[in-house]
Amino acid sequence: MAAIKVHGYHASMATVMVLCCLNEKEVEYELVLVDLPTGAHKKPEYLALNPFGVVPTIQDGDLTLYESRAIIRYLAKKFQGQGTNFLGSTLSEEALVYQWCEVEGQSFNPPALSIVSQIVFVPMRGGSTDEAAVEMNVEKLEKVLDIYEERLSKSKYLAGDFFSLADLQHLPCTHYLVNACGKGDLISSRKHVNAWWEDISSRPTWKINFT
């Protein structure tokens, strides 16, 4: 069987999340560099794979798939019998995994990504951080994390006592919040959220991308 091709960029958090998933599942892959700084993601060759011009995109046999959350869900199902079991062992556990995946996408990521964008990406492109927008989204994220604190006081991970796709999905944006935005207090000030973050961010399959 040919290795899965991952078209991505090593500094892209979405790419790193997919690579982390592949490593957790012990799946062979080939990273095909899409050089974002030179605009390779907007050139015809890449747009033929992903018309939205973002990374990553995978090729697995005849399947071409983009959107990192869709990719990791596909990998979790296809390779369910090997490596880390991201989906639990019962239908109820799988349902809770998907519930918390949706929470990440709908409640956590919007304010978290807005904070990261304002503090990291806007200045990188020559703009100025909108401090009011940062403050507003910090308030939103604090309310979300208070709910996480309650949840994580009852289970080690979001969907239960096993590391799942829901936890994996939080790695990229939270990494930026803690390490690039000076917002680590959002995590460290909450005992159970902090323990969860220390756990998931120390997984070797994640840390290997930053060594």
Mean pLDDT of 24-35: 96
Residue 88: predicted pLDDT: 96
Boundary-marking domain end, from 22, 57, 79:
79
Asked whether residue 85 is domain-assigned, the answer is: no
pLDDT exceeds cutoff 70 at 53 = yes
CA distance 193 to 199: 10
pLDDT band at 16 (very low <50, low <70, confident <90, very high): very high
Range of the domain at 171: 91-208
Average pLDDT, the chain: 96
Residue 209: predicted pLDDT: 78
Residue 110, both tokens: 């919007």
Pairing label, strands 29-33, 4-8: parallel
Torsion angles phi and psi, residue 66, rounded to 5: -125, 175
CA distance 129 to 122: 6
pLDDT band at 124 (very low <50, low <70, confident <90, very high): confident
Residue 211: predicted pLDDT: 59
pLDDT exceeds cutoff 70 at 174 = yes
Number of Cβ within 10 Å of residue 167's Cβ equals 24
List the CATH number of the domain containing 13: 3.40.30.10
Peptide bond into 56 cis (omega under 30): yes
pLDDT exceeds cutoff 80 at 41 = yes
Is 194 in the same domain as 160?
yes
Residue 11: predicted pLDDT: 86
Is 48 in the same domain as 116?
no
Domain count, the chain: 2
pLDDT exceeds cutoff 70 at 138 = yes
Is 22 in the same domain as 73?
yes
